[in-house]
Structure 1
Amino acid sequence: MGMAYLFKFASPSLGLQADPVAALPLLHRVATVATVATPQHAFIFGRLLLSKLPPDEIRAPLPSNALAHFVPAGSTVVLEGWKYMERAAHLGHELSQFLVGEAYRTAQPPFLVQDPLLSIHYYSLASQQGKMEADMGLSIWFLHGSPGEDGLEKDPVLAFMFAKKAAKKGLPMAELTMGFCAEEGIGCPKSLQTTIEWYKKAKEHGNSVAAERLNALSQSSPNAL
């Protein structure tokens, strides 16, 4: 019922009028009792709180104060949104695992600092479920590391391994990274032929940086990275 009140794709089956306000308590109720069999319920409500649902999927916009009722005293809409996202991630929701890993890596509010261990934890869970963007997130961590006494040391071999895993699935950023690795000898031997092969694949998938690198390498005096 909550989905039908709010989402375009769910409305035809029941023939209900759009009613976002009626949808919220129903979606909140199922989000609080989400299980490993229904982790998407917590994910959907978390995305609602974070205003991350695509506008073209919503039947009618939410009133500006509609979500305030679901935010406990002392908390915020953003904080509660990420709590539901983490709940969905704990319950095994692949996209939630990736998004929470991304939030901890990029220090998205309310996470004010990077947390390598938590980010890698959630990326790894998503990676195990085949999420290629999570593989790329892991590659970024091991490629760059993180500063500080308790930071993460760079690991070129792992960076290469996770980039390759994502590149084999056709992720353009991973294909670009594989080109970088082959060009610079990061986690693998330097190879101009391999570099060009990966850049061509990334370019074919729409990556503009790969196109720039191919152009640079085609010059009579190739421009190094």
Structure 2
Amino acid sequence: MEKYIEEVLAVGHIRPSTSPAVAGFFFVGKKDGGLHPCINYRGLNAIMVRYPYPLTLVPAALNQLRGARFFTKLDLRSAYNLVRIWKGDEWKTAFHTTHGHYEYLIMPFGLTNASAVFQSLMDKVFQDILGKWVIVYIDDILVYSTSLEEHVRHVRAVLSRLQQNHIYVMPEKCEFHQTTITFLGYMISWQGVKMDLTKVCAVTEWPNPAAFPMVRQLLPAFHPEL
């Protein structure tokens, strides 16, 4: 925790605070073994005015992929940190740690409007090519094309636009020029779109019910109203 506080102080993402607001601060583990900072903003979120900007409807967006044969997936680095908290509102994001009381100058994870705000930002960056050869869902980007030559041009154009807006990717989480790719829980190829089997294995590997009590246990998983 001390290392994290020192790092974000140094880059100007937080500052010491005298705010009367306080939120709990903790870390959760990531798939790669690292730690992700989390702040309990339930109290703030309960009174926050909602920003009614819609997120991308992924199933509908994937219908645009017909005819595409090459795909690139881009994952953005520290995406929310690109958004500045409105001046004068920083005190509302205050959090407390064993190393002191601080407040954010940039948008942290955990705020109820964070996803909508960032989706709005990304839609403005790519507004003229969305639905043509780019899909953006918050900080996940899919570039798709019908030929490799065209795809190289598309990927370069997207990366150039990101750079112009000071938005950067995490190379280790990106996949370039693929003919088959997973994106937001879907397996995508020139043959079409289907569910990523790793996301549904809990259901597909469920043993066949041999008696009525097992059926009764299984039904709520598919029909919650039962």
Q: TM-score normalised by the shorter chain: which range applies?
A: under 0.3
The two structures have a TM-score, normalised by structure 2, of 0.25
Is the strand fraction higher in 1 or 2? 2
The two structures have a TM-score, normalised by structure 1, of 0.25
Is the helix fraction higher in 1 or 2? 1
Q: Which has the higher contact order (CA 8 A, sep 6+)?
A: 2
